[in-house]
Structure 1
Amino acid sequence: MALRACGFIIFRRVPPESAIEFLLLQTSYGEHHWTPPKGHVDPGEDDLTTALRETQEEAGLSREQLSVVPGFVRELHYEVRGRPKDSLYWLAELLDPHTMVTLSSEHQAFHWARLEDACALAGYSDLQQTLRAAHEHLLRGPSAS
């Protein structure tokens, strides 16, 4: 059975031109890779609740500080140390772009990055594709799905 993780691709719109920046966290373990906030589903917990809990734990951002974007969810499938893993991502806007990010001990750094820089940090092609799809979804606007 695959491990399952859930999280958010969090973005903010930066004045004055409302440029879109994505939040990536650098792990404090392993290869110190960059990833959106996400984590494993606890027993009895639904996927969206997991995403919200993990975002609070890993980045210090609460549900009240986020606006979930309708019509966007992506599931990535890959292997971690020889075991299959599924990661489910929703898209959420940080309502106040000046809100502070507070990292847990699982991460050593965070970075707000525009699309190309975020993709360069992300490293993995499936995560890069997900970031590009999120960006495209935001550019298309709320009427598209």
Structure 2
Amino acid sequence: MKKVKSCGFLIIHRERQQFLLLKHHHRYDFPKGHVELGESDLECAFRELQEETGITKEQVNADGFSCDINYTTRYKRFGNRKVHKTVVIFLGWLKKDVDICVTEHPSFEWCPWPNKRKFTEKNIVKVLEKVEDYLH
């Protein structure tokens, strides 16, 4: 089975006690994307964060925490074949207010932190649980 890897960030605005999600047409997700050749996981996460939101590396404190989510899914780009996907999500804290400029998604949303909302996206739930365990 083909393997695919994406990396991204759970961005928390400490002062406002909110975290950032990107809105797709029918779901939410973290800013993330596929690792490019020769790129580390963290480099990929920072590149995708800037490409998808306009948030730069200099505007974020990455505290070293990351978590992996693994699952099987189908990819259109691979003829709708099943692939094993690993998603690495880093925890990042905004240093100050930023203007979000979404480029690849219809919009974004700041959600209350800690999370009290019930998300249907299993990967979001898993990441939020792991981060909450790490912070407590």
Give the TM-score normalised by the residue count of structure 2.
0.84
> What corresponds to 1:143 in structure 2?
none
**Is residue 2:108 matched to residue 1:110?**
yes
> What corresponds to 1:5 in structure 2?
6
> What corresponds to 1:79 in structure 2?
72
The amino acid across from 2:106 in the alignment is: Q
- Give the conservation status (yes or no) of the 8 Å contact 2:28–2:121: no
- Hey, what's the Cα distance between the residues in 2 that align with 1:22 and 1:110? 10
The amino acid across from 2:66 in the alignment is: V
CA-based RMSD of the aligned residues comes to: 1.6
Number of residue pairs matched? 126
The amino acid across from 2:13 in the alignment is: R
Choose the corresponding residue for 1:51, options 37, 45, 48.
45
Deviation at 1:125, TM superposition (A): 2.5
**Is residue 2:99 matched to residue 1:135?**
no
Residue 2 of structure 1 aligns to a residue whose secondary structure is: strand
- Hey, what's the Cα distance between the residues in 1 that align with 2:3 and 2:31? 19
Long gaps (5+) in structure 1: 141-145
